[in-house]
Structure 1
Amino acid sequence: MKLTTKGRYAIIAMVDLAINSQLNPAPLKDISTRQSISLSYLEQLFSKLRQSGLVKSIRGPGGGYLLKKDPSSLNLLDIITAVDEKIDQTQCGGAMNCINDKPCLTHFIWTDLNSKINEYMREITLSDITLRKDVQNIIFLRENKNVSQNQRPKS
């Protein structure tokens, strides 16, 4: 199974939140506009993210969402897990009943791959993503749509 839209959008929205809510809460409407994700879909995702303790909501004028933890302590696996996403490469869901209620010959390969993917997702934090040069370039280009190529930040 590959990461679904739910998991991808949750990560994208949380990266956006890490970038855009440092001083003030970020309204979902703004995240929706910036990332081209439907507002109703974001509402569903953020309900789960809030229930999992990753974000907090601020009501009223000037309200929106804030990260509940420092971006350096929020990893991608936390986000994926919060929105009920499972990363499982086995066909049997880890039950070892791939073929006639027994593990297939390559079951160990897929379970090892699951471990590697989970380990990788656990190692990457929101901070790691927001500090990447390529992400910084994307932010710069979005904020300065009319800036010429040679004025971009250096990689």
Structure 2
Amino acid sequence: MRLSTRVRYGMQAMLALALRSGPEPMSVKEIAERQDLPEHYLEQLITPLRRAGLVQSARGAQGGYVLARPAREITLLEVVQALDGPLELESCDCPPSSPHASGFCLEHALWLKLKRVIDDFLEGETLDDLREEAVNAAALHAPVYDI
């Protein structure tokens, strides 16, 4: 299972906004440059994020985008659903019109359980959790100058 390009790029954009140190908005161009994302593609992702109430736009010469709520209040599930809709996993190959003799399909039941686990995980993780991981990872890779 892989996250779609829309979700990966959208998460990176949301992370860039969460990492922003001040309240000033970030332009799509600035987000794209900081995250090394294609600007034209990122522009297409901002609209569903705005419609979902995850980002707000600020107009004007210094305009751009900011998080609509604190990063600790935005779950990763919200971001995924804003960009890709509800998470859909592969299901069994059984046609709905021909159930198993027992009326139970093991594969279908397992996929449903897995979907619930993934949804619960994404619901429990926030953008702030992701921000903390990014900050910690950057600190681990920062150069150390000992003399």
Q: Which has the larger radius of gyration?
A: 2
- In the TM superposition, 1:1-155 aligns within 5 A as 1-20=1-20, 22-91=22-91, 98-101=93-96, 102=99, 104-132=105-133, 135-139=134-138, 148=143, 150-151=144-145
Q: Is the 8 A contact 2:23 2:66 kept in 1?
A: no
Quote the offset at 1:140 in angstroms: 5.3
AA at the equivalent of 1:115: R
Instruction: List structure 1 segments (4+ residues) > 4 angstroms apart after TM superposition.
Output: 137-142
Letter in 1 for 2:58: I
Judge which range, 14-23 or 114-123, deviates more: 14-23
Shift of 1:56: 0.6
Residues 51, 86 of structure 1: CA spacing in aligned structure 2 closer, same or farther, 3 A cutoff?
same
Deviation at 1:23, TM superposition (A): 2.1
Conservation of the 8 A alpha-carbon contact between 1:7 and 1:85: no
What RMSD over aligned residues (CA atoms) do the two structures have, in Å?
A: 2.2
Answer whether contact 2:25 2:58 (CA < 8 A) is retained: yes
Unaligned segments of structure 1, at least 5 residues: 93-97
Q: Is the contact between residue 6 and residue 85 of structure 1 (CA under 8 Å) also seen in structure 2?
A: no
Aligned length: 139
Amino acid at match of 1:109: L
Letter in 2 for 1:36: D
What code does the residue aligned with 1:121 have? Answer: L
CA contact (8 A) 1:32 1:38 kept: yes
Q: Structure 2 stretches of 5 or more lacking a match?
A: none
Task: Determine the C-alpha separation between the residues in 1 that align with 2:17 and 2:57.
Answer: 12
CA distance in 2, matches of 1:2, 1:108: 21
Sequence identity, in percent? Answer: 35
CA 1:13–1:61: 2 relative to 1, 3 Å: same
Per-residue deviation at 1:130? 1.2
